[in-house]
Protein backbone atom coordinates (compact mmCIF):
# COMPACT_ATOMS: atom_id res chain seq x y z
CA UNK A 1 0.00 0.00 0.00
CA UNK A 2 1.12 3.50 -0.69
CA UNK A 3 -0.33 5.66 2.08
CA UNK A 4 0.73 9.28 1.75
CA UNK A 5 0.19 11.06 5.06
CA UNK A 6 0.65 14.78 5.60
CA UNK A 7 0.21 16.18 9.11
CA UNK A 8 -0.20 19.91 8.59
CA UNK A 9 -1.70 20.87 11.96
CA UNK A 10 -0.67 21.13 15.63
CA UNK A 11 -2.79 18.48 17.40
CA UNK A 12 -0.61 15.49 18.39
CA UNK A 13 -1.37 12.34 16.37
CA UNK A 14 -0.15 8.74 16.24
CA UNK A 15 0.45 8.90 12.49
CA UNK A 16 2.09 5.46 12.30
CA UNK A 17 -0.97 3.84 13.89
CA UNK A 18 -3.30 5.75 11.56
CA UNK A 19 -1.29 4.60 8.51
CA UNK A 20 -1.52 1.01 9.75
CA UNK A 21 -5.27 1.46 10.18
CA UNK A 22 -5.58 2.78 6.62
CA UNK A 23 -3.63 -0.23 5.31
CA UNK A 24 -5.85 -2.60 7.27
CA UNK A 25 -9.03 -1.00 5.89
CA UNK A 26 -7.82 -1.25 2.31
CA UNK A 27 -6.61 -4.83 2.76
CA UNK A 28 -9.88 -5.89 4.41
CA UNK A 29 -11.79 -4.29 1.54
CA UNK A 30 -9.80 -6.40 -0.93
CA UNK A 31 -7.30 -3.88 -2.30
CA UNK A 32 -3.77 -4.99 -3.19
CA UNK A 33 -0.42 -3.51 -2.31
CA UNK A 34 -0.68 -1.63 -5.60
CA UNK A 35 -3.13 0.87 -4.14
CA UNK A 36 -2.50 4.44 -3.09
CA UNK A 37 -4.39 6.92 -0.98
CA UNK A 38 -3.63 10.25 0.68
CA UNK A 39 -4.48 11.23 4.25
CA UNK A 40 -4.20 14.90 5.17
CA UNK A 41 -4.54 16.18 8.72
CA UNK A 42 -5.26 19.90 8.65
CA UNK A 43 -6.42 22.78 10.83
CA UNK A 44 -10.05 23.74 11.28
CA UNK A 45 -9.45 26.82 9.10
CA UNK A 46 -8.14 24.74 6.19
CA UNK A 47 -10.92 22.15 6.31
CA UNK A 48 -13.47 24.99 6.54
CA UNK A 49 -12.07 26.38 3.28
CA UNK A 50 -12.43 22.98 1.58
CA UNK A 51 -15.88 22.47 3.07
CA UNK A 52 -17.03 25.82 1.68
CA UNK A 53 -15.35 25.45 -1.71
CA UNK A 54 -16.27 21.86 -2.51
CA UNK A 55 -19.29 21.03 -0.37
CA UNK A 56 -20.98 24.45 -0.24
CA UNK A 57 -21.13 24.34 3.57
CA UNK A 58 -19.67 27.00 5.83
CA UNK A 59 -17.48 26.19 8.80
CA UNK A 60 -15.19 23.33 9.68
CA UNK A 61 -16.14 19.65 9.68
CA UNK A 62 -14.47 16.48 10.89
CA UNK A 63 -13.67 14.68 7.62
CA UNK A 64 -13.93 15.20 3.87
CA UNK A 65 -13.27 12.59 1.20
CA UNK A 66 -12.44 13.25 -2.43
CA UNK A 67 -12.56 10.02 -4.46
CA UNK A 68 -10.83 9.88 -7.82
CA UNK A 69 -13.44 7.48 -9.22
CA UNK A 70 -16.96 6.52 -8.29
CA UNK A 71 -16.63 3.02 -6.81
CA UNK A 72 -19.28 0.53 -5.74
CA UNK A 73 -18.97 -0.64 -2.11
CA UNK A 74 -17.37 -4.07 -1.96
CA UNK A 75 -16.20 -4.03 -5.59
CA UNK A 76 -12.47 -3.66 -6.20
CA UNK A 77 -11.56 -2.18 -9.60
CA UNK A 78 -9.22 -4.30 -11.68
CA UNK A 79 -5.68 -3.10 -12.10
CA UNK A 80 -4.17 -3.68 -15.51
CA UNK A 81 -1.16 -5.98 -15.58
CA UNK A 82 1.91 -3.80 -15.01
CA UNK A 83 -0.36 -0.75 -14.99
CA UNK A 84 -0.17 2.09 -12.51
CA UNK A 85 -1.37 1.62 -8.93
CA UNK A 86 -5.04 2.14 -8.18
CA UNK A 87 -5.30 5.70 -6.84
CA UNK A 88 -8.33 6.09 -4.61
CA UNK A 89 -8.20 9.77 -3.68
CA UNK A 90 -7.77 12.00 -0.65
CA UNK A 91 -9.15 12.00 2.88
CA UNK A 92 -8.87 15.26 4.80
CA UNK A 93 -9.36 15.26 8.58
CA UNK A 94 -9.39 18.13 11.09
CA UNK A 95 -8.07 16.65 14.38
CA UNK A 96 -8.95 19.70 16.49
CA UNK A 97 -12.56 19.50 15.32
CA UNK A 98 -12.51 15.74 15.97
CA UNK A 99 -11.06 16.30 19.47
CA UNK A 100 -13.85 18.78 20.28
CA UNK A 101 -16.47 16.29 19.05
CA UNK A 102 -14.92 13.58 21.22
CA UNK A 103 -15.09 15.82 24.28
CA UNK A 104 -18.72 16.73 23.53
CA UNK A 105 -19.64 13.05 23.15
CA UNK A 106 -17.59 11.83 26.09
CA UNK A 107 -15.52 9.56 23.86
CA UNK A 108 -11.78 9.13 23.39
CA UNK A 109 -9.97 11.21 20.78
CA UNK A 110 -8.08 8.16 19.46
CA UNK A 111 -11.37 6.35 18.87
CA UNK A 112 -12.90 9.34 17.09
CA UNK A 113 -9.90 10.01 14.84
CA UNK A 114 -9.71 6.29 13.99
CA UNK A 115 -13.38 6.39 13.04
CA UNK A 116 -12.72 9.42 10.80
CA UNK A 117 -9.91 7.56 8.98
CA UNK A 118 -12.17 4.54 8.42
CA UNK A 119 -15.16 6.72 7.51
CA UNK A 120 -13.18 8.78 5.00
CA UNK A 121 -11.64 5.72 3.38
CA UNK A 122 -15.02 4.04 3.07
CA UNK A 123 -16.29 7.13 1.26
CA UNK A 124 -13.42 6.73 -1.22
CA UNK A 125 -14.53 3.12 -1.70
CA UNK A 126 -18.09 4.08 -2.59
CA UNK A 127 -19.84 3.88 0.77
CA UNK A 128 -22.20 6.69 1.72
CA UNK A 129 -24.86 7.61 4.26
CA UNK A 130 -27.36 9.50 2.11
CA UNK A 131 -30.27 7.36 3.27
CA UNK A 132 -30.97 4.95 6.12
CA UNK A 133 -29.99 1.81 4.19
CA UNK A 134 -26.68 3.31 3.02
CA UNK A 135 -25.94 4.62 6.52
CA UNK A 136 -26.65 1.22 8.07
CA UNK A 137 -24.31 -0.49 5.59
CA UNK A 138 -21.53 2.06 6.13
CA UNK A 139 -21.82 2.12 9.92
CA UNK A 140 -21.83 -1.68 10.03
CA UNK A 141 -18.65 -1.79 7.98
CA UNK A 142 -17.08 0.85 10.26
CA UNK A 143 -17.88 -1.30 13.31
CA UNK A 144 -16.32 -4.41 11.74
CA UNK A 145 -13.15 -2.59 10.66
CA UNK A 146 -12.68 -0.76 13.97
CA UNK A 147 -13.16 -4.01 15.88
CA UNK A 148 -10.19 -5.46 13.96
CA UNK A 149 -7.98 -2.95 15.81
CA UNK A 150 -9.75 -3.28 19.16
CA UNK A 151 -11.85 -0.15 18.84
CA UNK A 152 -15.57 0.43 18.83
CA UNK A 153 -17.56 3.00 16.92
CA UNK A 154 -18.09 5.95 19.33
Q: What is the pLDDT of residue 4?
A: 97
Q: Which residues contact 125 (CB under 8 A, 6 or more apart)?
A: 29, 67, 71, 73, 88
pLDDT in tens, 97-143: 999 999 999 999 999 999 999 999 999 999 999 899 999 999 999 99
pLDDT at 82 over 80: no
pLDDT tens-digit readout, 35-60: 999 999 999 999 999 999 999 999 99
Please give the domain boundaries of the chain with CATH numbers for all domains.
Answer: 2-73+86-147 (3.40.390.30)
Parallel, antiparallel, or unpaired for β 35-41 and 63-67? unpaired
Amino acid sequence: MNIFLADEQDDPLSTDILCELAELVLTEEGFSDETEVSLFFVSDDIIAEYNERFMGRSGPTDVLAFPIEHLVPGVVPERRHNGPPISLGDVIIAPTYVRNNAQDRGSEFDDEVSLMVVHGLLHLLGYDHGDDAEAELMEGRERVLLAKVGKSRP
